[in-house]
């Protein structure tokens, strides 16, 4: 049995980057929704974006937990894992999304 999970780790890291990109885009859209709500004397746009923010924060949190579990299990069974060297450390997806959304 091949216990090399580096490919799976890279897929998860790419997914985490996509979540961060979505958070940045959502932050811009939330501002536009609030501005439109102000002009229309409504709140449904901002409420909708708040719901999307909450869902994205939750997705980032569970993705980070999945990554932690996968790494722990890989170490437990002696699997070959991706060992990144140099550069900046990978940020916790949950914290990155909170920061990009301006709520953490």
- pLDDT of the residue at 90: 66
How far, CA to CA in Å, does 35 sit from each of 42, 51, 62, 88, 99? Answer: 10, 17, 31, 36, 21
* Helix residue ranges, H only, the chain: 6-40, 44-77, 93-101
Q: From its phi and psi, is residue 87 left (phi > 0), alpha (psi between -120 and 50) or beta?
A: left
10-45 confidence digits (pLDDT tens):
888 889 889 999 999 988 887 788 888 888 888 888
Ranking 28-37, 40-49, 82-91, 92-101 by mean pLDDT, the lowest is 82-91
Is the pTM higher than 0.95? The answer reads no
Q: Could you identify the residue written with the tokens 């699997």?
A: 79
Q: How confident is the model at residue 84 (pLDDT cuts 50, 70, 90)?
A: low
- What's residue 88's pLDDT? 47
Beta-carbon neighbour count of residue 12 at 10 Å? 19
Name the more confident of 43 and 89: 43
Mean pLDDT over all residues of the chain? 81
Round to whole Å and give the CA distance between 33 and 43: 9
Domains in the chain: boundaries: 6-80+89-101
């Amino acid at each position: 049995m091949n216990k090399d999970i580096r490919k799976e780790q890279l897929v998860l890291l790419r997914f985490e980057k996509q979540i961060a990109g979505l958070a940045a885009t959502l932050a811009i859209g939330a501002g536009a929704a609030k501005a439109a709500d102000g002009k229309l004397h409504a709140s449904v746009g901002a409420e909708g974006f708040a719901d999307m923010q909450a869902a994205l924060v939750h997705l980032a949190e569970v993705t980070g937990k999945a990554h932690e579990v996968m790494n722990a299990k890989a170490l437990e069974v002696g699997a070959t894992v991706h060992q990144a060297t140099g550069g900046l450390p990978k940020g916790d997806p949950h914290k990155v999304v909170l920061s990009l959304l301006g709520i953490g």
